[in-house]
Amino acid sequence: MRIGTDDEAADKPLLAALRGQPVWPPPLWLMRQAGRYLPEYRAVRARVPDFIALCTTPELAAEVTLQPIRRYRFDAAILFSDILMLPWALGHGLAFREGEGPVLPPLRTAAEVERLDPERARGAIAPILETVRRVRDGLAAEGFARTALIGFAGAPFTVACYMVEGGGSKEFAATRTMAYTRPDLFAALMARLTDATIAYLTAQVEAGAETVMLFDSWAGVLSPQLFRRHAIAPARRIVAALRASFPRLPVIGFPRLAGTMLGEYAAGTGVDGVGVDTATELGQARRLVGAQVALQGNIDPLALLAGGAALADAADDALAAARAGRFVVNLGHGILPPTPPEHVAALVARVRAAA
Ligand code: CP3
């Protein structure tokens, strides 16, 4: 194989699968593959005062991005950061409290939307882009020539959920109420987040991300009408803008718990791959999105935690789906902190040994 730029070299397995080339065994990476289940992550995390400091210290963020690649040789490294670093960069407050998750000032007014500052974001994301460059260099220097680097952002709706609610929630009722009762205010927030997401992902690709993923973790709380307006339409705009700058860039969308809206999402946004959550059957996901879109998922994080036969069965379901079409093996949601690292090793071994 000749050495050259990405376009000259053979595609890495993840990029090949997203572009519709046959790949066997299927590429594999896991959401939240860098994190608290790894002792080496906890050791780095202990060196900084808080999670935001970890995300904004390129040397450490790059280190924790590479940790799971060294252990498991995943087909993708995903930038270590958080979806809430974009509102943080735009000047909205953010803190991560131990055991409590993210805390933000609840957004209520047009003035608060107007204060979100794209100029400020351009400067504030500099350390995150430096992490991207360091990870690309690190993957090459450590011999992980087949591992692709994934950049990411939260989808505007999911980011808006945390901003309006002021943190996590079960139903994000305040956010959906704002979408119904103050549609102009909510549209202004969504428009500003969509523009900022385009700039942010563009900068990540310029810094070395080879594919990007849009996490819409709370898309499933939306009615079909609001799903079209606030999940599909902004993702379509983001995908189109990225395609205009980078025609070969594969884009993955993850509208979690979209259910039967998954097909409309895939067709309406133009993504190359869709993340499938644990609640959706892979055969149905395939029928909904058609043959031209890669599926990524959807092993239950609790099956990974359980290990043994539960994990083997879940892995075999994913492998069966991979034999039937474009596929990337992953979880249906992120790795849970108490997951034994040996269970991850067992999953990797089973997928890599698949005939
Ligand atoms: O390894 C990776 O997947 C890359 C890094 C990554 C993180 N968060 C690191 C993180 C990614 C891609 C995310 C995405 C993210 N963040 C999502 C979308 C995916 C999903 O899980 O639905 C969401 C909704 C968030 C928001 C968020 N960040 C919450 C709700 C929390 C607190 C809950 C928790 O798990 O602690 C975080 C914190 C966070 N983000 C941690 C990590 C490793 C834990 C913080 C720590 O180590 O102290």
Q: Please confirm, yes or no, whether 32 is among the known catalytic residues.
A: yes
Residues in contact with ligand 1 by the CB-under-6-Å rule are: 31-36, 45, 51, 78, 80, 82-84, 96, 101-102, 152, 168, 215, 217, 334
Q: Residue 33 pLDDT > 70, yes or no?
A: yes
Q: Answer yes or no: is pLDDT of 7 > 80.
A: no
The residue type at 59: E
d(CA 192, CA 163) in angstroms, rounded, equals 13
Band (3; pLDDT cuts 50, 70, 90): very low
**Which atom of ligand 1 has the smallest separation from the CA of 78?**
4
Task: Tell me the percentage of the chain whose pLDDT exceeds 90.
Answer: 95
CA distance 241 to 213: 14
Between helix 156-165 and helix 173-181 the angle, nearest 10°, is 100
| pLDDT band, very low/low/confident/very high, at 35 (cuts 50, 70, 90) | very high
Residue 355 has what pLDDT? 86
CA 104 to centroid of ligand 1, rounded, Å: 15
pLDDT, tens digit, 9 for 90 and up, residues 294-337: 999 999 999 999 999 999 999 999 999 999 999 999 999 999 99
Residue 5, pLDDT above cutoff 60: no
How would DSSP label each residue in 202-266? Answer: HHHHHHT-SEEEEEETTGGGS-HHHHIIIIIHHHHHHHHHHHHH-TT--EEEEETT-GGGHHHHH
Query: Would you say residue 113 has pLDDT above 90?
Result: yes
Nearest CA to ligand 1 atom 34: 101
Residue located nearest, by CA, to atom 24 of ligand 1? 217
pLDDT digits (tens, 9 = 90+) for 332-350: 999 999 999 999 999 999 9
Say yes or no to pLDDT of 10 above 90: no
Q: Considering 162, 192, 216, 265, which one is annotated as catalytic?
A: 162
Nearest CA to ligand 1 atom 31: 101
Tell me the average pLDDT across 140-152: 98
pLDDT at 108 over 70: yes
Least confident of 8-22, 43-57, 144-158, 274-288: 8-22
Distance 18 CA to ligand 1 centre (A): 24
| C-alpha gyration radius of the chain | 19
Whether 45 sits among the annotated catalytic residues: the reply is yes
CA 84 to ligand 1 centroid distance, Å: 9
Catalytic status, residue 162: yes
pLDDT tens by residue, 53-83:
999 999 999 999 999 999 999 999 999 999 9
Two tokens, residue 299: 């092993």
Q: Cα separation of 205 and 245, whole Å?
A: 10
Q: How many CB atoms lie within 10 A of CB 171?
A: 11
Query: pTM of this prediction?
Result: 0.96
Q: What is the pLDDT of residue 9?
A: 52
Fold observed for domain 6-352: TIM Barrel (3.20.20)
Q: Where are the domains of the chain?
A: 6-352
